[in-house]
Amino acid sequence: MQYIAMISDVIESKSIKERQHSKDQLNKILKQLNEQYQTTNVSNFTITTGDEFQALLTANVPFLRIMDEILMAFRPYKVRFGFGLGEMMSEINSEISIGADGPTYWHASAAIEYIHKKMTME
């Protein structure tokens, strides 16, 4: 079965003066997305480290709309995204998107690493 993995991180999060406020805001946004897209979330939007979050979604999810919703709701902070399409090799935990493995996440990870490198080169 094909899935879409989304891996995201907050750009220059260490320079945010009100870090706790931004984390609280991000938690609220992800909670709303988990409720709004519960039928297309395979594994919920989850903060994986301080400024990174991810989710596993069905292949037919409107992922560009979700990305726009995050960008609009999280202003003025900026986020970069990596998406991957593929299969999963590990068990899927529907509650949290941590510990998952497979080509879906490998592609999303490669995509966000590419974006990160391109942004630091500019």
Q: What is the CATH number of the domain that holds 10?
A: 3.30.70.1230
- With contact defined as beta carbons under 8 Å apart, do 70 and 29 qualify? yes
Q: What is the pLDDT of residues 77-86, one digit of tens each?
A: 999 999 999 9
Q: 36, 78, 90, 40: which is closest to 60 by C-alpha?
A: 40
pLDDT digits over 43-99, tens only?
A: 999 999 888 999 999 999 999 999 999 999 999 999 999 999 999 998 888 998 888
pTM above threshold 0.95: no
Mean pLDDT across the chain:
92
Domains held by the chain: number: 1
Q: Quote the domain boundaries for residue 54.
A: 3-121
Q: Strand 79-86's sheet: what is its strand order?
A: 41-49, 52-58, 3-10, 79-86
Two tokens, residue 31: 């909670």
